[in-house]
Amino acid sequence: MILVTGAGGALGRLVAGELAGRGDVVLGSRTPRSAGERRVDFDDPGSLDFTGVDTLLLISAGYGEDDVVVARHDAAISAAEKAEVGHIVYTSLSGDGDHLPYALAHRWTERRLRRSASAWTILRNGLYAEFLADIAAPGPDGTIAAPLGEGRLAAVARADLAAVAARVVSTPQEHVGKVYELVGERALGGAELAAAIGGAYAPAALGATREAIIASGVALPYQVPMLVGTYSAVAGGFLDGSGVEGSSLRGLLGRAPQSALEVYRRAAAAAIGNVR
């Protein structure tokens, strides 16, 4: 049996779609949406019974301070070990993301898996093209003010990462002990994003952006450094894919990846009510 955690999230829903129709897949979520789904909440040990699970897809639960996220992932892995789950597949962060504020919890979880009694596979996901559309969204006049500098991001369509995850959990024995880097093949910079939506690129300073994020009130305190640190890492040239040795994306997909620029264009255009 395959159990997918976080099945209510955007990535989890896409993975569930990829695995639909199989009789041996159980979806787990904090908020089950059907009788067939199981309640799985890493914050609630009582919900972590993985008896009978052969392969666990552990989708990271990265929204929180490091201690919270680490405790969640530790609880999930410990429960899997207790239930003698054969194989754990974890959605981590690409190797070039080590400067990101949220890298620590991913690397901690990778270490935890390496000393686990279960077999494991680590999917080092690049940043989503959809996430790029959030953090580099154009303003109402089409201007992108995100402080990406001259940096570029090797973004990946979330659906491609879901397809890879579904493939790996379907043939786990082929992926024992593997760490797959999954970043986009073409890195995107601010000027290119602006051209794609017919807008302009006028990057703000990091400090002004930090103040604007705080003033907007949309980010929780722990999220402010996460966002600013993401801009800083892109601007510093750390996330353009050049620091990753060999992306496994195309090979594991068995086809060309989706265009991250097109995913960005659609999401950004929709955000400003300008879908073409």
**Which two three-digit tokens encode residue 132?**
């790029």
Contact residue for ligand NAP among 3, 4, 8, 90 (CB under 6 A): 8
Q: Which is nearer to ligand NAP, 260 or 269 (CB)?
A: 260
CB of 258 to ligand NAP, least distance (A): 14
Q: Which is nearer to ligand NAP, 63 or 238 (CB)?
A: 63
CB of 44 to ligand NAP, least distance (A): 8
Contact residue for ligand NAP among 3, 4, 12, 25 (CB under 6 A): 12
Of 135, 151, 154, the residue nearest 96 (C-alpha): 154
Contact characters 135-174, ligand NAP, x per CB under 6 A: ----------------------------------------
Contact residue for ligand NAP among 19, 100, 103, 127 (CB under 6 A): 127
CB of 228 to ligand NAP, least distance (A): 15
* Distance in angstroms (rounded) separating the CA atoms of residues 79 and 18: 26
10 binds ligand NAP (CB under 6 A): yes
4 within 8 A of 15, measured Cβ to Cβ: yes
Contact residue for ligand NAP among 3, 4, 61, 260 (CB under 6 A): 61
* Distance in angstroms (rounded) separating the CA atoms of residues 142 and 194: 8
CB of 33 to ligand NAP, least distance (A): 9
85 within 8 A of 50, measured Cβ to Cβ: yes
* Distance in angstroms (rounded) separating the CA atoms of residues 60 and 12: 10
90 binds ligand NAP (CB under 6 A): no
Q: What values do phi and psi take at 160, rounded to 5?
A: -70, -40
231 binds ligand NAP (CB under 6 A): no
Contact residue for ligand NAP among 4, 19, 25, 42 (CB under 6 A): 42
The region that residue 29 occupies, defined by phi over 0 for left and psi between -120 and 50 for alpha, beta otherwise, is: beta
* Distance in angstroms (rounded) separating the CA atoms of residues 224 and 65: 11
Footprint (CB under 6 A) of ligand NAP, residues 16-35: 29-30
* Distance in angstroms (rounded) separating the CA atoms of residues 133 and 135: 6
Residue 270, number of CB atoms within 10 A of its CB? 11
72 binds ligand NAP (CB under 6 A): yes
Q: Which is nearer to ligand NAP, 131 or 201 (CB)?
A: 131
6 binds ligand NAP (CB under 6 A): yes
* Consecutive H or E run containing 180: strand 179-182
Q: Establish how many alpha carbons lie within 13 A of residue 159's alpha carbon, considering only the half-sphere containing its beta carbon.
A: 11
Q: Which residues bind ligand NAP (CB under 6 A)?
A: 5-12, 29-30, 40-43, 59-63, 72, 91, 125, 127-128, 131
